[in-house]
Amino acid sequence: MEMVPAALASAATGHYQDPRFPNPKSPSSVTLRLTKSLLALAVSFVFALMAGRALAEPLLVVDMSNGEVLYEEDAGVPWHPASLTKLMTALVAFNAVANGRLALDSVVTVSKRALAEPPSKVGLPVDTAMTLEVALNLMIVKSANDIAVAVAERVSGSVENFVAEMNQMASVLGLSATHFVNPNGLDDARQTVSARDLAVLTLAIRRNFPQYASIFQTAIVRLGNINLESNNNLLTEFAGTDGMKTGFICASGLNMVVTVDRNGRQLLVVVLGASSARERGEKAGQLLTGALNGQLRGTGNSVFDIADLTNVAPPNMRPQLCGPDARTYVASQEQAFPYGLEGQPSFLNDSIPPMVFRASTLGRVRELPLPLPRPASAPLLRQSIAASPIVTAGNSLIPLPRPRPARPGG
């Protein structure tokens, strides 16, 4: 295992004097003056040793145009997804709309069960109604656990039925390390994914349902006078970022799937098990910068051919992040990877105006017609993802977007 150079390891204790970064605040000094030695940093992250065992931190970089893996580390290791679960929740909902089971203007109502979910949540009162479109934006941007349950109940009649659909979709997509127990990612030892599976899931969303891209690009949902902000800081700090989702529970550490469309490149990065939001974002930015500058040149392998490890349990990071020694662990991670700390260089130097979605509820109602009438011009897709056209990548299959049907009368 390659260790971080001593100059970097000691950087957290003082100003980082590495000549490769003459101006830590300057985007150009990070973007234009990366060298071969910086590439070594980009692909050699430290495994932390806690409680007598090494903790993997899965990392994955994929060229979305062809599915090629540009870099991977432990991408098949099972991991707890936390709120990255909501990517699958969104996909199942998108597919239900495509099959005509409901529409974006169908009504979603907050139930007692939904309201009882712990944070992160919106906290709207029981019987508050909203459209599915509003609910999906709240669920993805705010990462609202209560709204994820409300969406599940609306789509499938119950959380249990919806989770069964989630696992069926995972099977269709070949996500062999993935199993869901709930639609929001709250702590459950049985809920697992891998970096590889998250990348395939993200590709399925983007290729089958590009019409929902704006949901993942949104940085703020404005609900009345309240701004509900995304934890995906790359949306406003790394140019070209156009999705996808973050997540955190003690067992998983801080997770992220991020997509970028920049300079003709379409890239996907997965970071799992970070010790802080800073570390998570900076690692994603570092990998993206290396890929955009051509320093991560690819492996020649497809993301679909990464082998998931299905016979091991996911690590539990609770002792490291939420136990009595958490401060020691986080401090060790800061020393090993100081990017973004005060006085240190950062890969997140851009300033992008946030995309805002303005939302409103339909008030508190107990009975509304479900679903609301579908607008005459709305396209109706009845095919399931399993029946979609497919493309072969390695030995695996993933659906491609279906052609949009012509609008009635046109």
**Digit-coded pLDDT (tens) for 71-102:** 999 999 999 999 999 999 999 999 999 999 99
Q: According to the model, what pLDDT value does residue 286 have?
A: 98
Residues in contact with 127: Cβ distance below 8 Å, sequence separation at least 6, in sequence order: 109, 110, 364, 365, 366
Q: How confident is the model at residue 56 (pLDDT cuts 50, 70, 90)?
A: confident
Q: Could you read off the pLDDT of 235-250 as tens digits, one per residue?
A: 999 999 999 999 999 9
pLDDT at 394: 35
pLDDT at 358: 97
Predicted confidence at residue 175, as pLDDT, reads 97
Q: How far apart are CA 341 and CA 91, in angstroms?
A: 36
- pLDDT category at 368 given cuts 50, 70, 90 is low
The full 3-state SS of the chain, as one line of letters, equals CCCCCHHHHCHHHCCCCCCCCCCCCCHHHHHCCCCHHHHHHHCCCCCEEECCEEECCCEEEEECCCCEEEEEECCCCCECCHHHHHHHHHHHHHHHHHCCCCCCCCEEECCHHHHCCCCCCCCCCCCEEEEHHHHHHHHHHHCCHHHHHHHHHHHHCCHHHHHHHHHHHHHHHCCCCCECCCCCCCCCCCCEECHHHHHHHHHHHHHHCHHHHHHHHCCEEEECCEEEECCCCHHHHCCCEEEEEEEEECCCEEEEEEEEEECCEEEEEEEEEECCHHHHHHHHHHHHHHHHCCCCCCCCCEHHHCCCCCCCCCCCCHHHHHCCCHHHHHHHHHHHCCCCCCCCCCCCCCCCCCCEEEECCCCECCCCCCCCCCCCCCCCCCCCHHHCCEEEECCEEEECCCCCCCCCCC
Residue 390 — very low, low, confident or very high, per pLDDT cuts 50/70/90? very low
Q: Are 193 and 181 in contact (CB under 8 A)?
A: no
365: confidence class by pLDDT, cuts 50, 70, 90: confident
Model confidence over 290-300: pLDDT tens digits? 999 999 988 99
Rounded to whole angstroms, the Cα distance separating 147 from 408 reads 33
- Global pTM value: 0.80
Q: Check whether 388 has a pLDDT greater than 90.
A: no
Q: What is the pLDDT of residues 345-363, one digit of tens each?
A: 999 999 999 999 999 999 9
Q: Residue 136 and residue 215: Cα distance in Å, rounded?
A: 8
Convert the pLDDT of each residue in 213-231 to its tens digit.
Answer: 999 999 999 999 999 999 9
In this structure, which CATH number among 3.40.50.150, 3.40.50.300, 3.30.70.890, 3.40.710.10 belongs to the domain 6-399?
A: 3.40.710.10
What integer is the mean pLDDT of 277-283? Answer: 98
Task: Provide the b/e sequence for 306-338 (b: ≥16 CB within 10 Å).
Answer: bebbeeeebbebbebbeeeebeebbebbbbbbb
Q: CA angle 168-315-319, nearest 5°?
A: 130
Cross-strand pairs, 248: 254
Quick one: pLDDT at residue 369?
52
The model's pLDDT over 119-156, given as tens digits with 9 standing for 90+, comes to 999 999 999 999 999 999 999 999 999 999 999 999 99
Q: Among candidates 341, 195, 322, which has minimal Cα distance to 256?
A: 195
